[in-house]
A and B are shown apart, each in its own frame.
Chain A
Amino acid sequence: MPVEKKAGDEVIGGTMNKTGSFRFRATKVGRETALAQIIKLVEDAQTSKAPIQRLADWVAGHFILGVHALALLVFIFWFFVGYNAFFDPSTSFLLSPHKLGEIGVFGFSLLLSITVLVISCPCAVGLATPSAMMAGTGKAAEHGVLFKGADAIEAASKLTTIVFDKTGTLTKGEPSVTDVINSHPYLTRSLSACGEGQGEVRGEGMGVRVEELEVLRLAAIAEKNSEHPLGEAIVRAAHEHNIEIPSAESFNAIPGHGVEARYQGKEILLGNRKLMAERGVDISALLAQAEELERDGKTVMFVAQDRKALGLIAVADTLKEYSVEAVQQLHRLGLSVVMITGDNKRTAEAIARQVGIDRVLAEVLPQDKANEIKKLQAQGQRVAMVGDGINDAPALAQADVGIAIGSGTDIAKETGHVILIKEDLRDVVVAIEIAKATMRKVKQNLFWAFIYNTLGIPIAAGLLYPLAKIVVSPELAAFFMATSSVSVTLNTLLLKRFRPSLKMLAEGAKRSAPTVVTAPTGGE
């Protein structure tokens, strides 16, 4: 929402000035600017993050060393002890009719030692994580979610708290008309006399009667030439209701108060309480409704014609289409959802009530957003920050997972660990579900890779030889080793069948919807 600035107020570089022009003095340049400080905060947050330990790589690396040590021990054991104690010349290879016969002590010990090396090749262990990550990132990209790395997937699977920025993320980030109220009986009578239609016209987010449409029309006439964002919202709402907006005969913007215009010889006033008080307009009949709307975080403007209050128009930043659904799904996943904003508490709480968020961090300065994330992390929470603006960048970097909206600023996308290509907040749920599915797959793969090695190595080392008199040949060991890699890869491919819960719900709803068959009409 736009912020009113008066002479002497501080302005920040990069902010858009919507109306007219003004002179300003640069008080901070270079490293002292707000943007430079945000960049520094982003860099600090990125460098202070501990690198995620790659368990699988660590295990695979040490596993290779361990296997070579084991092969050495196997060789020494069978060379000095095992061969003399257990060797039987009638021994055959597993799944082979060939006998070992005159292999000798060196050949037998070397055979078992090499078989241990071959069967324990940790390629399945090495494949387990990257193959699942590749499949997971591919699946996410299919649904419009870009993970910047495997770290992001791993971190997203362990989240406990999701922090949403308000403006531009949960809300559209531009004001829209939410309520139009008519208070004057004169307007209703005059409209009835004109024979205009009765009943209610339903617009986006508001129900508007014809009397109220007239209030909206008069406000739009007054604001037609205005560059103020609130005025633009009124004109847009009038267009949405197919209201024709004639040009006013005169127009005057009164900064900090509102506008006055003249149309068909009558004076139209549109503005705040101050303007109405200055012009002697009695708005007492509208005050109760105005206060109620303001409690919901809406900006109220009164409309008067020839010093008579006709009604009021409320404007607010409205929720994006899927914000409520996304928050509901996140709650269903057992995650705690928090909203963070620089707006005042009243506006923030009103939006939070609409979207179903019960924890609000309001009046937070851009540089403090990262601190709020830090505080949550200090409480043991694993936090994701969802944002789109330059001011969200430090918090995106500080969070365990920074989720940037694709339509957001370049700095947010650069800083985020995950980018949502579409502007659909339900993709936050998709990202978390895919991350969880991918990590499940990684764990399954690691389990299969390790269970194979745990069973295969003792057999290859000749643990069963004293009893069964059977040894695994190196070529069979190679086959088993390849089988383990194939099994891990096939298990990873099952991730291709993964469908996010929201997609499944949507498909289920589509299937259960009744099919409408239109009967042919007209002649033969």
Chain B
Amino acid sequence: MNERKILRVSALVYTGISLCVAILFFVAASALGYSMMARVGGTVWVFLLSMIVSMPIVTSYCKKRLRV
């Protein structure tokens, strides 16, 4: 797989992971009765941090596994 494809796959993976974490956060916050402001603000912040954390980990993992 070429470099461009690897980056595209890894982008899909880390965005997916971050979205999952953010949705989980939103569901948990909603279930516990937090205000809309707290739920939306928290979800955005969790998504941003999850993207920052997962981006280098997933990219380097994909490069190792998918490079022919």
Contacts and interface: CB of A to CB of B under 8 A. Distances in A.
Given A72-B53, A106-B38, A80 B45 contact: no
A104 B53 contact: no
Given A65-B53, A69-B53, A76 B38 contact: no
A10 B31 CA distance: 92
A65 to B, nearest CB: 6
A110 B32 contact: no
A109 interface: yes
A110 B48 CA distance: 12
Given A80-B32, A106-B37, A65 B45 contact: no
B12 interface: no
B59 to A, nearest CB: 12
A65 B29 CA distance: 25
A113 interface: yes
A110 B45 contact: yes
B16 interface: no
B52 interface: yes
Interface hub of B35, B45, B56 (most chain A Cβ within 10 A): B45
A21 to B, nearest CB: 61
A299 to B, nearest CB: 64
A72 B49 contact: yes
A104 B46 contact: no
Contacts of A79: 29, 34, 38, 42
A72 B21 CA distance: 11
B45 A75 contact: yes
B46 A110 contact: no
Interface string B18-34: 00000001001100101
B57 interface: yes
In which size bucket is the chain B interface? 10 to 19
Contact of B42 (A68, A69, A106): A106
In which size bucket is the chain A interface? 10 to 19
Contacts, number: 43
Contact of A72 (B28, B29, B50, B56): B50
Contacts of A72: 46, 49-50, 53
A105 interface: yes
Contacts of A109: 42
Interface in A101-130: 104-106, 109-110, 113
A431 interface: no
A17 B32 CA distance: 94
B38 A68 contact: no
B51 to A, nearest CB: 10
A62 to B, nearest CB: 9
Interface string A53-92: 0000000000001001101100110011000000000000
Given A76-B25, A79-B29, A80-B28, A71 B49 contact: yes
A330 to B, nearest CB: 44
B37 A68 contact: no
Contacts of B57: 65
A405 to B, nearest CB: 44
Contacts of A113: 45, 49
A109 B42 CA distance: 9
Interface of B: 25, 28-29, 32, 34-35, 37-38, 41-42, 45-46, 49-50, 52-53, 56-57
Q: Lowest 8 CB-CB distances: which A-B pairs, in order?
A: A106-B38, A72-B49, A106-B41, A68-B52, A69-B53, A68-B53, A105-B38, A106-B42
Given A69-B53, A75-B49, A80-B28, 13 more contacts: A65-B56, A68-B52, A68-B53, A72-B46, A72-B49, A72-B53, A75-B45, A75-B46, A76-B25, A76-B46, A79-B29, A79-B34, A105-B34
13 contacts: A68-B52, A68-B53, A69-B53, A71-B49, A72-B49, A72-B53, A79-B38, A104-B35, A104-B38, A106-B34, A106-B38, A106-B41, A113-B49
